[in-house]
Amino acid sequence: MKLTGKKVAILIAPRGTEDSEFTKPKQALEAAGASVTVVGLQKGRAQTVRNDLDPVAEYAVDKTITEVSARDFDALVIPGGSVGADKLRASPDTVSFVRAFFEQEKPVAAICHAPWVLAEADVIRGRDLTSYASIRTDLVNAGANWTDEEVVVDQGLVTSRSPDDLPAFNAKLVEEVAEGKHPEQAASV
């Protein structure tokens, strides 16, 4: 398997993470042989949504954000959902965790509203990316080069616009994790 031995963290908010943007990348990584750890803000189960608002399912949190370090992983995935991404960025521990992946030159993938967390971590100056269209202004104001494409790959940073882009997002995510460290990730920190 392409990603055998690779350890990947995927973030989840207590409520409001978009279900498909959590489950589909996780499945794609596991199908490629990676070990995926669900990292939450608190112990117990986290509730996902569809279309930002409608409850879908609950998932077990494997580790809380205070129990992990970026050093434990080879890559990071941040799912969207307006409320979920807003809650993730409001957690200073989470923002530090995200920033450490950039400092350690490791691949990071963010979809839909998740790039808000990258803006909060101040790691996107001069970087090419995309997102859900509504947050374009926030990302441009944070220094990013925003483009309207199903997936944008910039030296270990993988971004997409919405659940419709998941096939392209997952394919590039697996590629970037397989490649390993990308020195350019540290250049924008």
Q: Which residues bind its own copies (CB under 8 A)?
A: 15-16, 49, 52-53, 55, 82-83, 86-87, 89-90, 113, 116, 119-120, 122, 133-135, 137-138, 141-142
Which residue in the list 87, 113, 172, 182 is annotated as catalytic?
113
Q: Please identify which residue in the block is written with the tokens 């790691």.
A: 123
Q: Is 115 a catalytic residue?
A: no
Which residue in the list 112, 123, 135, 166 is annotated as catalytic?
112
Separation between Cα atoms, residue 146 and residue 65, nearest integer Å: 29
Q: How far is the CB of 16 from its own copies (least distance, A)?
A: 6
Q: Which helix (H) or strand (E) holds 23?
A: helix 19-31
DSSP annotation string for 107-150: -EEEETTTHHHHHHHT--TT-EE---GGGHHHHHHTT-EE---S
Q: Is 182 a catalytic residue?
A: no
Q: Which is nearer to its own copies, 4 or 141 (CB)?
A: 141
Q: Which is nearer to its own copies, 7 or 15 (CB)?
A: 15
Q: How far is the CB of 172 from its own copies (least distance, A)?
A: 25
Which residues touch 141 (CB under 8 Å, ≥6 apart)? 119
Q: How far is the CB of 25 from its own copies (least distance, A)?
A: 22
Q: Which is nearer to its own copies, 12 or 177 (CB)?
A: 12
Separation between Cα atoms, residue 160 and residue 162, nearest integer Å: 6
Active site residue ranges:
112-113
